[in-house]
């Protein structure tokens, strides 16, 4: 396994006084759920691509909840972080393995690659970001 670079671990934050949106690009497989749900906030053609002041905190939280990979997360300033209970693992149709719950992904040596409440793991074998899905399944014709 190659050594991760600083860019691999970057998390960007977009904030107002009411909500913080965190985006971890290495986890994103571009499902576009956020863009379809709230295009006035999530615009991949704009820079910055997340405009947290373009909708209410509740609307943004609802849109981010649709992110299947955990690349997008929200938190409310001053509130304790919520952790989901249990674990749910589901194979998406012709796509990644979607995990929800108290997710902790380790590498072969036991190092923590990711901790959060969602993850999308590669099933097609083609991801350049293993074990995470990078959307390659859509280009390589994966069926499963």
pLDDT tens for each residue of 97-111: 999 998 999 998 989
In 3D space, the residue among 107, 88, 91 whose CA is nearest the CA of residue 99 turns out to be 88
Question: What separation in angstroms does the CA of 89 have from each of 14, 48, 51, 102, 119?
Answer: 29, 32, 31, 11, 10
State the pTM of this model. Answer: 0.77
Is the pLDDT at 127 greater than 90? The verdict is yes
Write down the architecture of domain 7-75 according to CATH: 2-Layer Sandwich (3.30)
Q: Write down the residue that tokens 């956020």 correspond to.
A: 34
Is the pLDDT at 80 greater than 80? The verdict is no
7 band by pLDDT with thresholds 50, 70 and 90: very low
- Residue 67 structure tokens: 């992110």
Is the pLDDT at 36 greater than 50? The verdict is yes
Question: Average pLDDT for residues 98-125, to the nearest whole number?
Answer: 92
Q: Domain extents for the chain?
A: 7-75, 89-140
Class of domain 89-140: alpha beta
What pLDDT does 138 receive?
A: 94
């Amino acid at each position: 396994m190659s050594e991760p670079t600083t860019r691999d671990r970057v998390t960007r934050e977009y904030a107002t006084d009411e909500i913080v949106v965190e985006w971890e690009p290495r986890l994103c497989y571009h499902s576009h759920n956020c863009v379809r749900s709230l295009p006035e906030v999530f615009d991949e053609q704009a820079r910055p691509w997340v405009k947290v002041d373009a909708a209410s905190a509740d609307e943004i939280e609802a849109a981010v909840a649709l992110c299947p990979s955990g690349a997008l997360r929200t938190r409310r300033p001053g509130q304790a972080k919520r952790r989901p209970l249990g674990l749910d693992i589901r194979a998406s149709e012709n796509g990644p393995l979607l995990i929800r719950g108290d997710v902790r992904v380790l590498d072969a040596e036991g190092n923590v690659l990711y901790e959060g409440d969602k993850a999308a793991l590669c099933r097609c074998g083609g991801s350049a970001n293993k074990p995470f899905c990078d959307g390659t399944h859509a280009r390589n014709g994966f069926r499963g």
